[in-house]
Amino acid sequence: MKKLLSTIKSPMQLHEMNPAQLAQLADEIRETLCNLMSIRAAHFASNLGVVELCLALHSTFDFRRDRLIWDTGHQIYPHKLVTGRYDRFQTIRTRGGLMGYPNPAESEYDLFVTGHAGSSVSTMVGLRSGDDLMGRSDNHCIAVIGDGAFPSGIVFEALNNANSLKSKMLIILNDNEMSICPRVGGLASYLDRLRTNPLYTGLKHEIVNLLNKVPLLGDPTERMLAQIKEGVKAGLHGGMLFEEFGLKYFGPIDGHNIQLLKKYLKMVAETEGPVLLHVITRKGHGFEPAASDPVYFHTPPIFERRDGEVIIKKSTSKAYTHHARDAIFDQMKHNSRVTVITAAMCQGNALEPVRDAFPDRFFDVGICESHAVAFAAGQAKAGLRPIVDIYSTFLQRSYDQIFQEVSLQNLPVTFMMDRAGLTGPDGPTHHGTFDVGYMRIFPNMVVMAPGDANDIGAMLDFALNHTSPCAIRYPKENAVEIPRQLTPIQLGKSELIRDGKDGTILAYGTQLGEALAAAEILAQEELDIRVVNARFAKPIDNDMVRSAIEETDFVVTVEEGMLQGGFGSAVLEAANELGLDARRVRRLGIPDIYVEHGERGELLCDLKLDRDGIRQTCRELADLYCEQRAARQSH
């Protein structure tokens, strides 16, 4: 049988394919996805679930002029494969290769770099409005959004706006009963009722037609019959919630039947006004291990298929995420006032043991980060000690609630910011590089970062006994433990790890290990370097700043975050307040750029945040100030 996928240079070729060819193409796409997983970890189950939907869309519409936005974006792989990127597909999620999310720099078929859930409907409504104003009212604007993302508050804001525009637009609700973990909440229950309602057949329409024939007269009995009639009609009309927003509701339909999908897509394309098409898919469809366990196979480790079995390559190292989870578990075991709140990231934050052991104090609010923080504020006001365990990049979505509901009220909410720093192949949508800057500007906020695994439990214990909000950031990385005599966590106090007289490295966060390694290399070059575990970006340790600047020739600050507003900026601000000469302070961190995707080690090397980069910076400063000292002494 002739291979099809490798011949696809444009999605317009799909318009000429018959049903058998489209089915074959779906199989080839799934095989390509499985082959990718033998090379590197990637988003998997979600991509398997949208293969037929992707092919139906591209064989029905012309997205050179029509608009297509994939919400969240991690299910973009089939789309990339049929939009001219098959030849480069094996480079996905590698430095210089294809991004694992939509990327307009790669293709005209990608409109936005999307990586956070819920915004697709808003941007689609904006595109529709913009196209109308620009005289392009004859094209189609489509957003594909999952049932896990649909409860996000911004979606309902967008639906409200769409109703006022009255323009032609299509929302495809990809309902697979999942976000990353099983979805939660009232809307999830509503969708479950829609997908399981046996009256989504011709019987539904026959009953409604029959009810429409019931006459409406004036006596009490007939008025009662009228009320029953309207109640039954409302119960049968499952899309009633969506139609209250002004959407015409169609579905639910089988999202793995390409011909049925094409039939409905052509039908709704001719429908005026906003439309919601409810599509039922199965995450992991076509690869039974992923379909049976879509949570594990959301982004599984590298695996091989051998004699019909899946062989997983597992790491034996313990990540910072797991140390944080263990610290949370211990606190909840000993303090009944401690709760934990996550936003659809139970698996990502490894919180399953916490959820199972303390179900009454574990709250998964779905992909609703703003609500998560405001919810935590309410719990704190009631006397609890809530922990908001959330990725750094996703916490940005609750910025106003951090300000208004937590910081302004000075409530003791603890933020555990997982995936802080560079998240490697996930790229710029997921790098947690902004949290130091956006958290430390708030009054009352304490901002911490552990230097190694030993600091995490101690920092969490400190935070849960502190009277103000606290934030703790840690990376997506295997944890290290630095041998030393541990010192207690004290507000705004750093930890001296290695003394020295020639220069000082102030390490904020888990780059401490790299800083120590750089100092060891420099010792062999006869440079005596002091290394400090800063621990706090706010409040900054003024004594540490003063001694570093006054007692050593130069100071290098190291952080896995943005330089603007980051830890190094806090050091410079402190130096200014103390009246110190900060000209010999050099900051290492992330400059004013969005860091692309790649392996974390590669990215750290590029940014001079690994041991070699730190060593090189110290070496350059030592040589410079040695020359300046010699010049001063000669005069």
Could you give the residue numbers annotated as active site? 283, 369, 397
Q: Across the beta sheet with 274-280, what order do the strands follow?
A: 67-70, 141-146, 169-175, 274-280, 248-254
Neighbours of 483 (CB within 10 A): 7
Q: Cβ distance 365 to 371 under 8 Å? A: yes
Phi-psi group of 565: left, alpha or beta (phi > 0 → left; psi -120 to 50 → alpha; rest → beta): left
Q: Per the structure block, which two tokens stand in for 419?
A: 């995936």
Nearest Cα residue to 448 out of 527, 312, 561? 561
Q: Per the structure block, which two tokens stand in for 84?
A: 């001219």
SS (H, E, C) 162-178: HHHHCCCEEEEEEECCE
Alpha carbon separation from 159 to 54, 124, 624 (Å, rounded): 23, 11, 60
Element (H, E) at 380: helix 369-381
Tell me the C-alpha distance between 618 and 626, whole Å: 12
First to last CA, the chain: 85
User: How far is C-alpha 131 from the chain's CA centre?
Assistant: 29
Q: Which residue has the tokens 């007289």?
A: 501
The number of residues in the chain equals 635
Q: Which residues contact 206 (CB under 8 A, 6 or more apart)?
A: none
Cis peptide preceding 252, ω within 30 of 0: yes
Cis peptide preceding 151, ω within 30 of 0: no
Tell me the C-alpha distance between 487 and 490, whole Å: 9
Helix, strand, coil percentages (3-state) for the chain, rounded to 5, are: 45, 15, 40
Q: Cβ distance 424 to 597 under 8 Å? A: yes
Neighbours of 187 (CB within 10 A): 17
Helix (H, G, I), strand (E, B) or coil at 587: strand
Q: Which residue has the tokens 């979606």?
A: 155
Instruction: Quote the DSSP letter at residue 306.
Output: E
Neighbours of 550 (CB within 10 A): 10
Instruction: Identify the burial level of 225 via C-beta atoms within 10 angstroms of its C-beta, where 0-12 means exposed, 13-18 middle and 19 or more buried.
Output: middle
Q: Cβ distance 329 to 73 under 8 Å? A: no
Element (H, E) at 516: helix 512-524
Q: Cβ distance 583 to 551 under 8 Å? A: no
Sign of the Cα pseudo-torsion (21, 24, 26, 32, in order)? negative
Q: Per the structure block, which two tokens stand in for 254?
A: 């089988």
Tell me the C-alpha distance between 504 and 559, whole Å: 14
State residue 234 phi and psi, 5-degree precision: -65, -40
Element (H, E) at 523: helix 512-524
